[in-house]
Structure formats: C-alpha cells, structure tokens
Amino acid sequence: MDRDWWRGSVTYQIYPRSFQDSNGDGIGDLPGITRRLPLIADLGVDAVWLSPVFRSPMVDMGYDVSDHRDIDPVFGTLRDFDAMVTEAHRLGLRVIIDQVLNHTSVEHPLFRESRQSRDNPRADWYVWADPRPDGTPPNNWQSVFGGPAWEWDARRFQYYFHNFMVAQPDLNFHNPEVQDWALDTLRFWLDRGVDGFRFDTVNFFFHDSALRDDAADPRRKPRPAFKTYDMQYHLFSKNQPENLPFLHRIRTLLDSYGAAVSVGEVGESHHPIEMMGEYTSGNRLHMAYSFEMMEDRFSAAFFRDTLARFRRLAPEGWPCWAFSNHDVPRHATRWAQHAADPDRFAKLCAMLLLSFEGSICLYQGEELGQTQTDLSLDEVIDPQGRAFWPEDKGRDGCRTPMVWESRAPHGGFTTGTPWLPVKDPQRDHAMDLQFDVPVSVRDTYKAMLTLRHNEPALRTAPTQFLDTPEPVLAFRRGDLLCAFNLSPERAGLDLRGSGQPLLSQDADWTGGTLTLGPNGTLIARAS
C-alpha cells in the first residue's frame, strides 16, 4: 500500500456519457468504459476519474443527483460498476469517482422531505430562508446559471438556496447530520473498492449563516458580465472558514482506508491559487485544482508565475494541473493561435503539462489532440449554453463522444443515435488513426507518461525556473532540463552546457545555444 501514490500522479478523466456506448442507446455506459480500459492502461496513467454515474434526472447531466448510492440505469448497475472497478484494478489503474455533495436534485428523497414543512426531520438539511417583507429573496446572492440564487417554495413559504440550477438545491452543511450523511456516502463507495474522490465545487459546501450580501466585484470591467454571478465578489455565498474543519473530517476518513485520495475542484476567480493551497495544507484535501490553466492565457510568464505562486503560497500544499476538462473548451482549440500546426501543438501541450510539478489530470480525447466541436443552438443540450447563447455556447462542445474509429458510424461510439453529434473535424482525431503512424500525438503522450514514470524528478522534484524571454519557458527539475517554445515561430536562446535528450520535438542544443523550432520542445538530462 503506497499512501503517497498520488504525488506526481496522472489521472485520466472519463466523461461517461461520451466515452463508449455498449447497448446502442446513444449514451456511454459502464460496460463501455470497462471495454476501453485497456487502452487507458496502455497509455500509462495512474488512475481514472469518472464524472457522475449516480441516479439523476439529468437536468445537469448527472450533477443533479437523486440517489448518491446507486447507479443511474442509463449507465448500468452497481454490478456493472463493481466489474469496472475490478477490471481497472486488474490493469493497475486506480478509480476515482465524482462526489457532488454541495447540492442534490430536487427529486432527491432528502429534499422532498425537507420541503414538506418547517418541522420535519429533514427540515434543516437544506438552506431555507424567509423572504424580506416585500417578498423578495433574503439577500443578493446570484446563481452560477443566471439570476437570483433563491427559489420560492409555496409549501414552506420560504426560499431555498441554489448556487447552481433551480433543480439543484444546496445542502446545509452547518447541520452536523448533513456532514455525517456525506461521510457515510463516501464510506459506501470506499467499501466498494474505489480509490478516492473528486469533489465537485469543494469550496461551495458552506454558506454564511447570517446570509450577508455578497459585494460587487471590485475588478473594473468595460461592460457588465453576461452572467450576473460574475458581477459579484462571493464573500459570503461560498468560501467560508467552516469548510476547513469539514475537509479535515474527510481526510481523516480517507486516511482510515489507507491509500484513498481526494482532489477538490476549486471554483473561484478571485484567489484560486491561494485557496488551492489552503485546501491542501494542514491535513485536508490531498490535491486541488482550479480553472487557472483552463482559460485563454498562454504564455511563458503565465505558466511560470502560476507554478511559482502556488509553491510560494502553499509550500505544504499539492496542486493538480489540467489544461482541459468537461466544463471548458478544449485547449487544442482554445489556444489554437499559438499552434504551428495542430499535431505539433498537441505534442507541445503534452510535454508541457506532463513536466509540471504537482499531479496532472488529462481529459478524454486530449491524448488524441481532439478539438472542440462546433455546435449550432439546435444541437445544444447543456442548460448553460441554452441560457447564455451566443456569449457562452455551453459545455457540450467539449463533451461530444470519443471517436474510436474514423470511418465507423458515429466514430465507433454507438450503434444508435449519439446524444451529441460526432462531426468530421473530430473524426480527424480518431483513436484508430493514431496507431501505425510515426510519432502520433498519442505516442507522444505515451512516451511522456513513460518518462514521467521513470524519472522521479518529473513527479516530485522542485522546479527551478530559468530566466528566459518570451515565448520560451524553461526550467530544471532535478537533473532534467525542460524547455518549450510556446509560439509558432522558431526561437533560440543562449544556454550553457549540454545534455542527453530524453524526449524532444524540433530541438537542437549545441555550442551553448538551444534552438527550438515552432512549438519545439526539449526534455534532456543536463550535464
């Protein structure tokens, strides 16, 4: 049992609806995941993370859970889940599953009971508040999905709080019984053999019990944000100090199971790096990630400053970095203006991300250089996209099905009609096109994962940055030199010494000069 296996680990995120359909209904499922696990294991990652597969009305694609301890029939059964975990373990993969504890579905039995009256056994399990004298909500808190974060309920003559959709009421973690219920839910899955949890919206669990108004966002903007949520500085609707002792309770439970781990999603725009550090220090979460590297920023200064700031602010904390996930446009498209060509850029991103200090998460299809799918409004299912189109086209573009076979109907994802379309630009990055091709994108990911596994410095050594001008990012980790040209133009720099190249793309280090071609990269053992 290696309790520290997660330090420097690489996790592969599976979005189950879009991974592999096994029964022709157009939606991915657990047997489909089990079928494809050997390809993930062959890539060389340490673990898989599954987005929610629990019972749900699917208003928010499974993040509105109606039963935290059962599998939704669209994905299979508990027996299918157990079979998937067994196969993953046989292949040497650990299994991390999503836990959506901040809120439930309105169809959850707990909420159905809570809303019946003000004095039933679950009355205080959710966040309820009386209206102001004029009937308006108790404060100005806004929902991530738009508009006030309060919904009137005529059964109790009160408002309930929802940080997200109206159909996702927030649980009241100030109630110790709610905390105990959440920990019991974790025990249920740990006893089934899972190796850890990814906690959705981990900084949202607690709200200010005095219901004080949030402040206006102090950052000046040229015009109002299209989301009212983004006009506020969320001092009281989330990020409360009571979160920290509850995270300690989670850690204590996980430690009692040996090598079980936790990774938290920090949804915060004002001070995400600081919060990642706070949440992973002091025996709380093992790892945390924010959306810091999943935005439009792409420069040597940005990556250097972000990595250095985390280590400076949280010397005892541990980050988990990602370039893409199921909530943001794929980085191959998001950063396309920096690409010499799509494949070269995808390989650059692979070597860049997998050389970072901390742990890493890869999103399904990333290893193929997969791009964002361009969808029309009539094809969009995501409620966020439908609410904010065209300013925000939603999250469906990064959630379209995996393409396994370029010429098969629907890319080999399903024999039925897929829940989201498979389009030709995505077929160009099919899995079967990555084999028997010299140095494919997938080959580069595999080679880099092998290097990270074989070189302890890439997993745990501290980062020492070199003073390099844009667009070159360069640093040392132990005896390894890592250098990256983040532009589509050739770049060079004076660099004394020499080394043994371990993995490179269009790089030459001779005579005290390092020359990097467009999106060129070099990882070498320096002498």
Q: Look up 494 and say whether it is catalytic.
A: no
CATH topology agreement for domains 10-102+176-449 and 462-526:
no
Asked whether 352 and 520 are in contact (CB, 8 A), the reply is no
What global pTM score does this model have?
Answer: 0.97
How far apart CA 70 and CA 52 sit, in angstroms, is 11
pLDDT at residue 220, rounded to an integer: 73
**Active-site residue, from 21, 80, 151, 200:** 200
Residue corresponding to tokens 């904390």: 317
Asked whether 106 and 167 are in contact (CB, 8 A), the reply is yes
pLDDT at residue 3, rounded to an integer: 94
In terms of phi and psi (left: phi > 0; alpha: psi -120 to 50; beta: otherwise), the region of 436 is left
Phi, psi (deg, nearest 5) at residue 96:
-115, 135
How far apart CA 428 and CA 335 sit, in angstroms, is 18
Token representation of residue 88:
């993953």
> Which residue numbers in the chain have pLDDT < 50?
none
CATH code of the region 462-526: 2.60.40.1180
Say whether domain 10-102+176-449 belongs to CATH 3.20.20.80: yes
**Active-site residue, from 21, 72, 151, 265:** 265
pLDDT at residue 481, rounded to an integer: 97
**pLDDT for 463-503, tens place per residue?**
999 999 999 999 999 999 999 999 999 999 999 888 899 99
**What residues does each domain of the chain span?**
10-102+176-449, 462-526
pLDDT at residue 345, rounded to an integer: 98
Q: Look up 195 and say whether it is catalytic.
A: no
**pLDDT for 35-62, tens place per residue?**
999 999 999 999 999 999 999 999 999 9
Asked whether 464 and 478 are in contact (CB, 8 A), the reply is no
How far apart CA 284 and CA 208 sit, in angstroms, is 21
Q: Dihedral of CA 98/101/106/108: which sign?
A: positive
Radius of gyration of the chain measured on its C-alpha atoms: 23
At a CB cut-off of 8 Å and minimum separation 6, what does 411 contact?
A: 401, 402, 403, 404, 405, 422, 426, 427, 430
